[in-house]
Amino acid sequence: MNKQFLNPRLFTLSIMVLAAAALRLVPHYPNFTPVAAMALFGGAYFSNKKTAFIIPFAAMLLSDLVIGFHSTMWAVYLSFALIVMIGFLLRNGKKISSIFLASVSSSVLFFIVTNFAVWVSGGIYPLTFTGLAECFAAAIPFFSYTAVGDLFYVGIFFGVFELVQWKIPALAEMKA
For the chain, percent of residues with pLDDT exceeding 70: 94
Residue pLDDT, tens place only, 155-172: 999 999 999 988 988 887
Please determine, for residue 27, whether its predicted confidence score (pLDDT) is greater than 90. Answer: no
Domain definitions of the chain by residue range:
7-173
Whole-number pLDDT of residue 2: 52
Q: Which CATH class is domain 7-173?
A: mainly alpha
Residue 18 has a CB neighbour count (10 Å cut-off) of 17
pLDDT over 50 at 26, yes or no: yes
Sign of the dihedral defined by the CA atoms of residues 130, 134, 86, 71, in that order: negative
Do residues 119 and 127 lie in contact, with contact meaning Cβ atoms separated by under 8 Å?
yes
Q: Which residue has the higher pLDDT, 2 or 58?
A: 58
- State the average pLDDT over residues 26-36: 86
Give the Å distances, CA to CA, from 32 to 24, 76, 144, 153: 9, 15, 9, 9
pLDDT (tens digit, 9 = 90+) per residue, 51-107? 999 999 999 899 999 988 888 999 999 999 999 999 999 998 899 999 999 999 999
pTM passes above 0.95: no
